[in-house]
Amino acid sequence: MNESKHFLPFTQPSLDEATIAAVVEVLRSGWLTSGAKVQAFETALSALLGQRIVKVMNSGTAALRMALRLANIGEGDQVITTPLSWVATSNVILEAGAKVAFVDVDFASRNIDLALIEPALTPQTRAIMPVDLAGLPVDRNRLYEIARQNHLRVIEDAAQSMGAVWQQQRIGAIGDFVAFSFHANKNLTTGEGGALVLPPDIDPALCEQLRLQGVKRGRDGVMDVAVLGYKSNMTDIAAAIGLGQLQQLDLITARRRLLAHRYFEQIRPEWGLQLPPPDNGQSNWHMFQVLLPLGINRARFIEKMRSQGIGLGVHYPAIHLFSLYRTIGYARGDFPIAEDIAERIVTLPLFPAMTDADVDRVCQAIETCLVTFNSK
222-266 pLDDT tens trace: 999 999 999 999 999 999 999 999 999 999 999 999 999 999 999
Strands (DSSP E) found in 54-176: 54-57, 78-81, 99-102, 125-129, 153-157, 165-166, 169-170
Question: CB under 8 Å to 276, separation ≥6 — which residues?
Answer: 110, 134, 136, 283, 288, 289, 290
pLDDT one-digit tens code per residue, 51-63: 999 999 999 999 9
Instruction: Please give the backbone phi and psi of residue 257, each rounded to the nearest 5 degrees, phi first.
Output: -65, -40
Strand order in the sheet with 54-57: 54-57, 194-197, 177-181, 153-157, 125-129, 78-81, 99-102
**Cβ distance 256 to 215 under 8 Å?**
no
- Report the candidate in 255, 253, 367 with the shortest Cα–Cα distance to residue 310: 367
Q: What is the pLDDT of residue 1?
A: 42
The pairing of strands 99-102 and 165-166 is unpaired
Measured distance between the N- and C-terminal CA atoms of the chain, rounded to whole angstroms? 24
Q: What is the pLDDT of residue 4?
A: 45
Q: What is the pLDDT of residue 158?
A: 98
Residue 227 three-state SS? coil
- Report the candidate in 311, 334, 322 with the shortest Cα–Cα distance to residue 7: 311
Report cis status (omega within 30 of 0) of the bond before 230.
Answer: no
pTM, whole model, 2 decimals? Answer: 0.96
Is 186 one of the catalytic residues? Answer: yes
Using a 10 angstrom Cβ sphere, with 0-12 exposed, 13-18 middle and 19 or more buried, the burial of residue 175 is buried
Q: What is the pLDDT of residue 5?
A: 53
**Cβ distance 312 to 6 under 8 Å?**
no
Q: What is the pLDDT of residue 3?
A: 45
Share of the chain above pLDDT 70, in %: 98
pLDDT averaged over every residue in the chain: 96
Q: What is the pLDDT of residue 59?
A: 98
Distance between CA atoms of residues 227 and 239, nearest Å: 26
DSSP string for residues in 62-88 = HHHHHHHHHTT--TT-EEEE-SSS-TH
Q: What is the pLDDT of residue 375?
A: 63
Options 186, 216, 304, 376, the catalytic residue: 186
CATH code 3.90.1150.10 region(s) in the chain: 250-374
Taking CA atoms, 86 is separated from 56, 248, 266, 311, in Å, by: 20, 26, 29, 19
Low-confidence residues in the chain, pLDDT < 70: 1-5, 375-376
Q: What is the pLDDT of residue 376?
A: 58
CATH code 3.40.640.10 region(s) in the chain: 17-243
Torsion of CA 156, 49, 174, 14, to 10 degrees: -40
Distance between CA atoms of residues 24 and 3, nearest Å: 32
Instruction: Please give the backbone phi and psi of residue 105, each rounded to the nearest 5 degrees, phi first.
Output: -105, 165
Q: What is the pLDDT of residue 93?
A: 98
Q: Which CATH number applies to 17-243?
A: 3.40.640.10
CA 72 to chain centre: 23
User: Is 250-374 a domain of CATH 3.90.1150.10?
Assistant: yes
